[in-house]
């Protein structure tokens, strides 16, 4: 990509979610003003202001973003000015894909607050470094969380969604103990039918005919309902804990 020319047609993109607008004052008007000031300072022609109001950064599927990408693909603008990088996306994957689209079209991205301009080699380098660091942080956090949950499970305690037919019993440590709830007898019956060789669909039909409620108290049985019941442990595979409740062996 060539260095951003001294005079360039740019689109100003502004986004805010309702929560952000109330919390930190990052209003659309503020963003537009900052972007216009940047454009004027750098002799850029702001040909269009695009706003996404009340739109999450979790996805690129937003009306304003769709319009912006259309302008880029049509070659209508040579640059995009934003107030801050997180106005585009908070997803590393989406952000990387969008940067790729801009680079392929020869469109520079300029971030006012971050003082970045991908129209220069150094600007593209900084953005790539930021993307890599963000990706590393996300993966490192996921690994730490996974390791912590694995350690809790290794100690016999339950974390996450409760198995069908069980209730949560608090204890002093992380995770929880299990206790059979009102739906546990149903779980036992499902396991019994499975041992008899019935398929998921056949078990669902049998449970429906016998009039059993689902472990969550529903009336209708499906293959997925049976699958969740079968994924729940039987009491025989657990160990009782002093003071009440059961833990994994």
SS3 182: coil
Please state at what angle helix 63-73 crosses helix 92-104, rounded to 10 degrees: 30
* Active site annotation includes 17: yes
Phi, psi (rounded to 5 degrees) for 6: -65, -30
Beta-strand (E) ranges in 133-207? 166-169, 177-180
Contact between residue 18 and residue 27 where contact means Cβ atoms under 8 Å apart: no
Non-local (6+) Cβ contacts of 45 within 8 A are 7, 8, 9, 10, 39
- Alpha-carbon 185 to chain mean position: 36
Which of 6, 17, 120, 223 is catalytic? The answer is 17
Spatial contact of 26 and 16, defined as CB atoms under 8 Å apart? yes
Active site residues: 17
């Amino acid at each position: 990509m060539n260095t951003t020319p001294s005079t360039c047609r740019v689109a100003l993109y502004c986004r805010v979610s309702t929560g952000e607008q109330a919390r930190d004052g990052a209003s659309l008007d503020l963003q537009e003003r900052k972007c216009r000031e940047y454009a004027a300072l750098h002799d850029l022609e702001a040909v269009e202001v695009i706003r996404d109001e009340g739109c999450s950064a979790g996805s690129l599927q937003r009306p304003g973003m769709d319009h912006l990408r259309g302008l880029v693909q049509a070659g209508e603008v040579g640059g995009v000015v934003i107030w801050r990088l997180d106005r585009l996306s908070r997803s590393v994957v989406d952000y990387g894909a969008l940067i790729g689209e801009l680079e392929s079209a020869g469109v520079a991205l300029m971030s006012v607050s971050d003082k970045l301009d991908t129209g220069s080699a150094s600007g593209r380098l900084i953005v790539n470094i930021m993307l890599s660091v963000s990706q590393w942080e996300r993966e490192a956090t996921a690994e730490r969380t996974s390791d912590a949950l694995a350690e809790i499970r290794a100690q016999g305690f339950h974390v996450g969604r409760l198995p069908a037919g069980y209730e949560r019993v608090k204890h002093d440590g992380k995770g929880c103990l299990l206790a059979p709830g009102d739906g546990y007898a149903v779980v036992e019956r499902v396991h019994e039918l499975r041992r008899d060789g019935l398929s998921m669909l056949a078990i669902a039909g049998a449970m429906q005919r016998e009039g059993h409620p689902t472990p969550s108290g529903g009336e209708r049985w499906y293959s997925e309902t049976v699958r969740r019941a079968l994924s729940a442990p039987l009491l025989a595979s657990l160990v009782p804990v002093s003071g009440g409740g059961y833990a994994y062996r």
